[in-house]
Structure 1
Amino acid sequence: MKTSSFKPSARWLAKGSVLLASLLVLAGCSLAPAYDKPAVPTAAGFKEASADWTRTQIKPGEAGTWQPARPSEEVARGAWWTVFGDDKLDALERQALEANQDLAAAAARLKEARALNQAARAGLFPTLDAGFGPTREKLSAASQLQPDGTGIPQQTLWRAQASASYEVDLFGRVASSVDAARADTQRGEALFRSVQLALQADVAQAYFTLRGLDAEAEVFAHTVSLREQALKLVQSRFDEGDISELDVARARAELATARADAMSVQRLRAASEHGLAVLLGKAPAEFSMPPAPLKAVSLRIPAGLPSSLLERRPDIAAAERAMAAANARIGIARAAFFPSLTLTGTGGFESATLGDLFKWSSRAFLLGPLAGTALNIPLFDGGRRSASLANARAVYEEDVAKYRQQVLTAFREVEDGLSDLRILEAQTQTQADAVQSATRAADISRTQYREGAINFLDVIDAERTALQTRRAAVQLQSVQAAATVNLIRALGGGWGDVVAGSVASN
């Protein structure tokens, strides 16, 4: 009888062992789809890079409509702003990287992402706990192998035990969670670098804007000096009776207008200086820059610049990592359809009295959950898991579309930058010719006025034209510097190992 009763138990034990072994073999099998980086649009070359200015062609073998994404945002870009050869700008960039609060906030967000990644990785390991204290309980008669109806009195037990719990990753839920958290961390790193690049570009643009306003202020200072000289000349001729008081009034009005315009430039400069101070992490009262007119900036984009440089952009890398995280979360949603297995165990000492708690005879253990079951099989949830899976897939599709749109936006920004620099180069040369001609016309008009050949209105008109052309010329220099910064930013912070053809600042 004993032998016959033992065999069924052995068979059930064998079947259970086989089932457990099968489940353990499945552990770590991920249900996430294989992640393939989606194809992105490419072109044979940048449209706005004319052959006579610079040739920007895609690398051999990259031609076509779509190419697989190969983000390389982690490639070091270095201090790209040093191409401008401005020591003051170099110092400002260093200050901004050390003290800007937006960058500090981005660094904190990166720490948050890393902490969440560490929390997700904790799921790969068992949890261990220990505790001490009394419990009041009443055991069933059946659990004590007593006949039905036997009364088991309530009792207080003291316990000092350690417990362990571990979720066997049967269908890759934990592994997919770790993959998603890792991708989110990498996305956070890319977003941090995106904020960093934006800060560097903003500082450079604010600096060049400030210097451009200094150049405009210099133009107005020269104009005010000319207006003062003109007023003296007109006043002298009026005192001699050669002209009427009308010319004097006109000269005074022109002088006052020039002074008012100069004050407008001063107001704009003050606001720009305050904005630059905030970028540097300083209160406006703590920062000031002596006036220094902007020097012309000319930067040549190196020939053969590949469109793959766009993959260095941190915003593109962040979008690609968001796709990877969304793909891993599809695996998490799929794993919810399958059983989960949690192994638990408790061991230590328990006793009816505190004094007997740590005796050798008081040792006890429990394998398996105190409540519930170790193996949980989902049966019905009203479609919640199906909805979660559909949502995960939709999020992934959305992130793919966002990524491709980000790449298209990057191409547009580079094309905009190339066209700006190409057109601005010709425009500044044309504007320089206009300045030379307008200045010559103003000089001739003043000479003719002294000789009485023309009236003062002709002088005013010529000087206004000269002022407008000079101001437009210095504004174009500021726009050209800002366009150069925008192009470098659009390329992700320079062009790596590609050597620029020529960089000049004079």
Structure 2
Amino acid sequence: MSRRLVITGRFSAALRRRAPTFALIGAAAALAFQLGGCAVGPDYHRPDTAVPAAYKEAPEGFKVAQPADMADRGTWWLIYDDAQLNGLMDQLNANNQTVAQYAAAYRQARALVGEARAAYFPVVSASFSGTRSRTPTRVSNASGSFPSGNITNNVNLGLDATWEPDLWGKVSRTVSAEEAGQQGAAADLANARLSAQATLAQTYFTLRALDAQQKLLDDTVAAYQKSLTLTQNQYAQGVAGRADVIQAQTQLQSAQAAAIDNGVARAQDEHAIAVLVGQPASSFSIAASPLTATPPTVPLTMPSALLERRPDIASAERKAAAANEQIGVAISAFFPTLTLSASGGFESSVFSQLLQMPSRFWTLGPSLAATIFDAGLRSAQTQAARAAYDQQVAAYRQTVLAAFQDVEDNLASQRILAQEVVVQQQAVESAQHALSIVTNEYKAGTTDYQNVLSAQTTAFTAQQKLASIAGERMVSSVGLVKALGGGWDAAQMDRESGGVAAPAPASAASASGAAASTTAADTQRALNVQPQ
């Protein structure tokens, strides 16, 4: 019974000794929880930008997309109904190295979010050490003194924990900035993929247009060969002069040279496609097939929807959001930081007695630190953060302006080329008719060969121009799809990156979590995106 009283007495005395420390820790924690969520710095709102009410260059026949048209059309190239193009797109999505770089950058941004979130939690570390040391001494006896030494052992097993409460929202601002960076990286990845896909489609249709021109050149060479034969026959009969034969030969050879030169451009386009799909140009080839496709109708979205449909706009907006959060991080440096730390463990000179109660040690205590003088460092850092935000806002607005220009350029191109192809088709028919008349007159001997050469050149130029316009229309069609964002939507950033909210392990931490949640909600509203 007396032993129990002694133990109880020691325990009570220990509590009394620890009471001031525990009270100090409790007061500091209560203060941290009360101040948690007092995030300093400006709340983010998407920067205002001028959005037109309608597209100026929208040609007749184009319509504004209805809500049903806003469904995800990620495989936008299917509207061209080209099986070979579909296969090339599959290879690009799997093997394009530029897209792979942006995918790695996205994974890095996602890891940075986890790195920032770690600051919400305490840092706990463990240590173990063992030392054996000898200190010299001198021992004296009857025969004199001689050197000796004391050998001591020391074994230490410890556990340390530190935690810095997020009093002023520095951690939540940092997490929000990294989340915006992650979403921006997701948009950058989508933009890189869309750009590569559009480049592939445009290069593919350019190659097909070159195939059409190659067929035209081959047909022209065959026609000029017949014309040369006709002239040679006329010369043999004494109807035509030697100059007519030389002119016919010159025109044939020029057409043959043009046919060969066309192969250079086609080879370069084929090599470019090989790089886009991640294959060596040396082992890649595409069979020739003249272009026969015509641009499909592309439903337009409302101009305001372009802010959600273009990944480059979403990326620029997320960079502005991240820069805004960095202002709060810079402002938080003006306020004191509270650090709660605790350490404990066992220390003994005898290893077998290491884990016994007399060998234990511990320390507890809060630490409050504030910078009194820094020669204007924090003010300069805050000004730099505000300037960086203004820079990102300007970049965002410039991206929006460039996006509308891109749409208008391609709309104008589609409208004008559609009109031009009709006129050029009529020009081809007229040139062919004129060539037929002049050829018959030459056979009849009523006109000279110079008129035949002129009519042949006019007909060939008209046909070549028509083939070129057909290719330009397809390239412009792809450009319009890309300008409208392809099949992408800003909501895909959240589907790909996921939401990252501040942890709330205890009710006292709800204020800090609420601040992070509010930031995430503001981000959702700014993007006009529904949470997944």
What TM-score results when the alignment is normalised by the length of structure 2?
0.81
Correspondence for 1:213: 210
Query: Is the Cα–Cα contact under 8 Å of residues 46 and 56 in structure 1 kept in the other structure?
Result: no
Match of 1:42 among 43, 51, 54: 51
SS of the equivalent of 2:45 reads coil
Query: Is the Cα–Cα contact under 8 Å of residues 58 and 307 in structure 1 kept in the other structure?
Result: no
Query: Is the Cα–Cα contact under 8 Å of residues 330 and 385 in structure 2 kept in the other structure?
Result: yes
> Counterparts of 1:490 and 1:282 in 2: how far apart (Å)?
27
Kindly tell me the number of residue pairs found equivalent between the two proteins: 455
The structure in which a higher percent of residues are helix is 2
Correspondence for 2:191: 194
Structure 1 residues 369-426: Cα deviation after superposition (integer angstroms, max 9, x where no partner) = xxxx721111111111101101111111111111111111111111111111011100
Structure 2 residue 375 is the aligned partner of structure 1 residue 382? yes
Structure 2 residue 111 is the aligned partner of structure 1 residue 115? yes
Of residues 352-361 and 274-283 in structure 1, the stretch that sits farther from structure 2 once superposed is: 352-361
Correspondence for 1:127: 123
Correspondence for 1:419: 412
Correspondence for 1:344: 341
Structure-2 change in CA distance of 1:132 and 1:328 (3 Å): same
Structure-2 change in CA distance of 1:357 and 1:13 (3 Å): closer
Query: Is the Cα–Cα contact under 8 Å of residues 309 and 495 in structure 1 kept in the other structure?
Result: no
Correspondence for 2:263: 266
> Counterparts of 1:473 and 1:339 in 2: how far apart (Å)?
73
SS of the equivalent of 2:125 reads strand
Structure-2 change in CA distance of 1:160 and 1:390 (3 Å): same
Structure 2 residue 56 is the aligned partner of structure 1 residue 25? no
Correspondence for 2:62: 54
Shift of 1:306: 4.7
Show the 5 A alignment for 1:279-428.
Answer: 279-302=276-299, 305-368=302-365, 374-428=367-421
Q: Amino acid of the residue matched to residue 458 of structure 1?
A: N
Structure 1 residues 274-320: Cα deviation after superposition (integer angstroms, max 9, x where no partner) = 00011000001221111000014132343774542342100000011
Structure 2 residue 102 is the aligned partner of structure 1 residue 84? no
> Counterparts of 2:132 and 2:390 in 1: how far apart (Å)?
54
Query: Is the Cα–Cα contact under 8 Å of residues 247 and 456 in structure 1 kept in the other structure?
Result: yes
Correspondence for 2:475: 482
Query: Is the Cα–Cα contact under 8 Å of residues 435 and 455 in structure 2 kept in the other structure?
Result: yes
Structure 1 residues 90-123: Cα deviation after superposition (integer angstroms, max 9, x where no partner) = 1111111011111111111111111111111111
> Counterparts of 2:488 and 2:187 in 1: how far apart (Å)?
18
Correspondence for 1:4: none
SS of the equivalent of 2:278 reads coil
Q: Amino acid of the residue matched to residue 95 of structure 2?
A: A
Structure 1 residues 425-480: Cα deviation after superposition (integer angstroms, max 9, x where no partner) = 00000000001111111111111111111111111111011111101001000000
Correspondence for 1:143: none
> Counterparts of 1:214 and 1:167 in 2: how far apart (Å)?
68
Query: Is the Cα–Cα contact under 8 Å of residues 52 and 303 in structure 2 kept in the other structure?
Result: no
> Counterparts of 2:315 and 2:488 in 1: how far apart (Å)?
19
Structure-2 change in CA distance of 1:75 and 1:184 (3 Å): farther
Q: Amino acid of the residue matched to residue 391 of structure 1?
A: A
Q: Amino acid of the residue matched to residue 45 of structure 2?
A: D
SS of the equivalent of 1:133 reads strand
Structure-2 change in CA distance of 1:58 and 1:99 (3 Å): closer
Structure-2 change in CA distance of 1:10 and 1:293 (3 Å): closer
Correspondence for 2:448: 455
User: How large is the RMSD of aligned CA atoms in angstroms?
Assistant: 2.6
SS of the equivalent of 1:251 reads helix
Q: Amino acid of the residue matched to residue 85 of structure 1?
A: D
Shift of 1:188: 0.4
Q: Amino acid of the residue matched to residue 76 of structure 1?
A: D
Structure-2 change in CA distance of 1:359 and 1:15 (3 Å): closer
Query: Is the Cα–Cα contact under 8 Å of residues 300 and 484 in structure 2 kept in the other structure?
Result: no
Structure-2 change in CA distance of 1:156 and 1:40 (3 Å): farther
> Counterparts of 2:100 and 2:391 in 1: how far apart (Å)?
30
Show the 5 A alignment for 1:45-194.
Answer: 45-50=54-59, 52-56=60-64, 76-134=72-130, 157-194=154-191
> Counterparts of 1:483 and 1:24 in 2: how far apart (Å)?
59
Query: Is the Cα–Cα contact under 8 Å of residues 45 and 56 in structure 1 kept in the other structure?
Result: no
| Percent identical residues | 39
Structure-2 change in CA distance of 1:252 and 1:119 (3 Å): same
> Counterparts of 1:16 and 1:96 in 2: how far apart (Å)?
59
Shift of 1:54: 3.0
> Counterparts of 2:450 and 2:99 in 1: how far apart (Å)?
55
Q: Amino acid of the residue matched to residue 96 of structure 2?
A: N
Q: Amino acid of the residue matched to residue 280 of structure 2?
A: A
Structure-2 change in CA distance of 1:241 and 1:123 (3 Å): same
> Counterparts of 2:395 and 2:213 in 1: how far apart (Å)?
42
Match of 2:436 among 427, 433, 443: 443
Structure 1 residues 320-356: Cα deviation after superposition (integer angstroms, max 9, x where no partner) = 1111111111111011010111212112211133343
Correspondence for 1:67: none
Structure-2 change in CA distance of 1:199 and 1:441 (3 Å): same
> Counterparts of 1:217 and 1:386 in 2: how far apart (Å)?
67
Structure-2 change in CA distance of 1:388 and 1:111 (3 Å): same
Q: Amino acid of the residue matched to residue 56 of structure 2?
A: K
Structure-2 change in CA distance of 1:20 and 1:106 (3 Å): closer
Structure 2 residue 227 is the aligned partner of structure 1 residue 230? yes
Correspondence for 1:504: none
Q: Gaps (5+ residues) in structure 2?
A: 1-15, 134-149, 490-532
Correspondence for 2:246: 249
> Counterparts of 2:488 and 2:173 in 1: how far apart (Å)?
35
Of residues 108-117 and 156-165 in structure 1, the stretch that sits farther from structure 2 once superposed is: 156-165
Structure-2 change in CA distance of 1:384 and 1:77 (3 Å): farther
> Counterparts of 1:303 and 1:12 in 2: how far apart (Å)?
68
SS of the equivalent of 2:295 reads strand
Query: Is the Cα–Cα contact under 8 Å of residues 56 and 306 in structure 1 kept in the other structure?
Result: no
> Counterparts of 2:40 and 2:345 in 1: how far apart (Å)?
38
